[in-house]
Structure 1
Amino acid sequence: MNAAALLHLLQFASPALPVGGYSYSQGLESALEDGLVTDAASAQSWIARMLHEVAASWDAPLFWRLLQARTVRDDAALAFWNDTFLASRDTAEFRAETVQMGYSLARLLAELGVADPAQHGAEVSFPAAFACAVDALGIPHEEALLALLFSWLENQVLVCVKSVPLGQVAGQRMLLALRPDLERAALHARTVPDAALSNWSPGLSMLSMRHEVQHGRLYRS
Structure 2
Amino acid sequence: MNAAGLLHLLQFASPALPIGGYSYSQGLEAALEEGVVHDAVSSRAWIVRCLHEVMAQWDAPLFWRLLKAWAARDDAAVRRWSECFLASRDTAELRAETIQMGYSLGHLIAELGVPGAARLGEDVSLPAAFACAVDGLGIPHDEALLALLFTWAENQVLVCVKSVPLGQVAGQRLLLSLRPEIEAAASWARELEDGAMSNWAPGLSMLSMRHEVQHGRLYRS
Q: Same fold (TM over 0.5)?
A: yes
Alignment of 1:68-147 (within 5 A): 68-117=68-117, 121-147=121-147
Q: Is the 8 A contact 2:116 2:136 kept in 1?
A: no
Corresponding position: 1:165 with 2:165: yes
Which deviates more from structure 2 when the two are superposed, residues 5-14 or residues 107-116?
107-116
SS at match of 2:117: coil
**Alignment-derived partner of residue 65 in structure 1:** 65
**Alignment-derived partner of residue 4 in structure 1:** 4
Corresponding position: 1:155 with 2:155: yes
Shift of 1:130: 0.2
The number of residues matched between the two structures is 221
**Alignment-derived partner of residue 39 in structure 1:** 39
Tell me the amino acid that sits aligned with residue 85 of structure 2. F
Shift of 1:168: 0.5
Length-normalised TM-score, structure 1 = 0.98
**Distance change in 2, residues 1:166/1:67 (3 Å):** same
**Alignment-derived partner of residue 199 in structure 1:** 199
- Which deviations, in whole Å up to 9, do the C-alpha atoms of 1:17-42 show, x marking residues without a partner? 00000100000000000000010000
Distance, in Å, in 2 between the alignment partners of 1:121 and 1:204 is: 29
Q: Is the 8 A contact 1:109 1:116 kept in 2?
A: no
Tell me the amino acid that sits aligned with residue 169 of structure 1. V
Q: Is the 8 A contact 2:110 2:118 kept in 1?
A: no
Shift of 1:119: 5.0
For structure 2, list consecutive stretches of 5 or more residues without a partner in the other structure.
none
Length-normalised TM-score, structure 2 = 0.98
SS at match of 1:26: coil
Distance, in Å, in 1 between the alignment partners of 2:185 and 2:31 is: 22
- Which deviations, in whole Å up to 9, do the C-alpha atoms of 1:166-194 show, x marking residues without a partner? 00110111111111100000001100000
Tell me the amino acid that sits aligned with residue 9 of structure 1. L
Corresponding position: 1:220 with 2:200: no
Tell me the amino acid that sits aligned with residue 212 of structure 1. E
Tell me the amino acid that sits aligned with residue 149 of structure 2. L
Shift of 1:120: 6.9
| CA RMSD of superposed structures (Å) | 1.0
**Distance change in 2, residues 1:69/1:24 (3 Å):** same
Which deviates more from structure 2 when the two are superposed, residues 110-119 or residues 139-148?
110-119
Distance, in Å, in 2 between the alignment partners of 1:150 and 1:140 is: 15
Shift of 1:115: 3.2
Shift of 1:122: 3.1
Which deviates more from structure 2 when the two are superposed, residues 88-97 or residues 173-182?
173-182
**Distance change in 2, residues 1:34/1:201 (3 Å):** same
**Alignment-derived partner of residue 26 in structure 2:** 26
4+ runs of 1 displaced by more than 6 Å?
none
Distance, in Å, in 2 between the alignment partners of 1:131 and 1:144 is: 8
Q: Is the 8 A contact 1:91 1:205 kept in 2?
A: yes
